[in-house]
Amino acid sequence: MAPTTGDATRVQVRSHPDCLLHRPTLGHPEAPVRLEAVLRALEPGPHQPPASGWSLDRQAPLPPEDDILGVIHWLHTPELVDRVRQAALAPPGFVDGQDCVVSAGSFRAAMAAAGLAAQAALDMVNQRLHRCFLALRPPSHHAEADRARGYCFFNSVALAAELITRAWNLPVLIADFDAHHGNGTQAMFYDRADVAYLSVHQYPTFPGTGAGDEIGTGAGRGTTRNIPLAAGADDEIIATAFENGLAELGSRIRPAVILVSAGFDAHHDDPLAQMQVTEAGFRRMTRAVVQAAAAWSDGRILSVLEGGFAPESLARSVRAHVEELAIDETSRIPAASTARDEPNDSRDAHALELENLDELEN
Ligand SMILES: [Zn+2]
């Protein structure tokens, strides 16, 4: 099975034009201009050296719509999917709350976001992708199984985690440094031992969850780790908390892949949170992810864009994040074109397709 790309870049940045079709009403913070600024910042310009550490695909392939829906239904109710689809047929409107405003293109955008996540996870389990940043919207982590919330319709990062654990039957870890707690992601995996969730976030604030004593339940007890931080937390406070949480949870579950809910609204310029983080803080947290991935997941990282609502600060922060993802500190990270040749690994002898995974239940 040939890899999807022959280039030797370490990080694949993927996006899709459909992600721009979700156009909430004027003045809504989760606007297409966010993603446009991010993509501009990741494009090598005439005055900067070629971005040899990453490639940017603005129109990455998506799975067929039926396959995307199949994956969404692993974690979301059909009723939620129908509500989003129906609302987009009669715009403007909203789904489940006035923060989830819907335009004519919102369903397609939400499907593209879920599709990018599913395809990246599939490419990762088939050893065609080693390190990836998904520049997508709408974001993921507030979407619950049966409810859109906090600008999120489908939980793309959770869908990717679910796909990887189904395919490999190995644990994964979702590390979330968005300024808000990922209530949806936590709820989906709260009783599961195979998907760990770490979050550093401002607290108390929206969505209200994420207290330190929310640690999981049943088989999942101890696989959720929340580190709530007071408003005003700076680089040192948030990065130290994140590094400690990652070391603790990572050593406990030894994830096969580290997924990142990469939200940048803890930036001091951001209008929706009251944190004081700079690009240097996001670099430091990204470095912690890279080091954790070198220790436990053979360097595999799948990072997904979440919040960040001051477009230019968001763009600079994402650029810093991707630059750090592209740094190979251990020289152990194989290039995309050779990732399938890793020793002692026969997992891609038969490439998995989405329909195979439908038969595997967790
Ligand atoms: Zn947020």
pLDDT digits (tens, 9 = 90+) for 33-86: 999 999 999 997 665 565 568 999 999 999 999 999 999 999 999 999 999 999
Share of the chain above pLDDT 70, in %: 88
pTM here is 0.92
Q: Which residue has the higher pLDDT, 120 or 5?
A: 120
Q: How far is the CA of 268 from the centre of ligand 1 (A)?
A: 13
Distance 281 CA to ligand 1 centre (A): 16
Sheet holding 172-176, edge to edge: 54-57, 11-14, 131-134, 301-305, 258-262, 172-176, 195-202, 224-229
CA 330 to ligand 1 center in whole angstroms: 31
Residue 351 lies inside a defined structural domain of this protein: no
Using the mean position of ligand 1's atoms as its centre, give its distance from the Cα of residue 360 in Å: 32
Answer yes or no: is 6 within a domain: no
The CA-CA-CA angle for residues 105, 24, 36, to 5°, reads 80
Element (H or E) spanning 11, and its range? strand 11-14
Asked if the structure places residue 358 within a domain, the reply is: no
Task: Tell me the CA–centroid distance for residue 355 and ligand 1, in Å.
Answer: 33
Which residues keep their CB under 5 angstroms from ion ligand 1? 178-180, 263, 265, 307
Let me know if residue 202 belongs to a domain: yes
CA-to-CA distance for 237 and 185, rounded, in angstroms?
Answer: 23
Residue range of the domain that includes 187 = 11-344
Is 311:143 a contact under the CB 8 Å cutoff?
no
- What is the tally of structural domains in the chain? 1
Provide the terminal-to-terminal Cα distance of the chain, rounded to the nearest Å: 27
pLDDT of residue 5: 40
Calculate the CA dihedral of residues 180, 135, 317, 228 and round it to 10 degrees. 20
| Domain assignment present for 82 | yes
The pLDDT of residue 291: 96
Record the tokens describing residue 168, joined without a space. 């490999």
359 within some domain: no
What's the CA-to-centroid distance between 263 and ligand 1, angstroms? 6
For residue 317, the CA-to-ligand 1 centroid distance in Å is 14
Structural domain contains residue 293: yes
The candidate with the shortest Cα–Cα distance to 290, out of 314, 323, 265, is: 323
Residue 290 to residue 305: CA distance in whole angstroms: 17
Whole-number pLDDT of residue 293? 97
The verdict on residue 198 lying in a domain is yes
Q: CATH number of the domain that 78 lies in?
A: 3.40.800.20
Query: Which two three-digit tokens encode residue 65?
Result: 């719509």
Residues involved in catalysis? 142
Average pLDDT over residues 306-335: 84
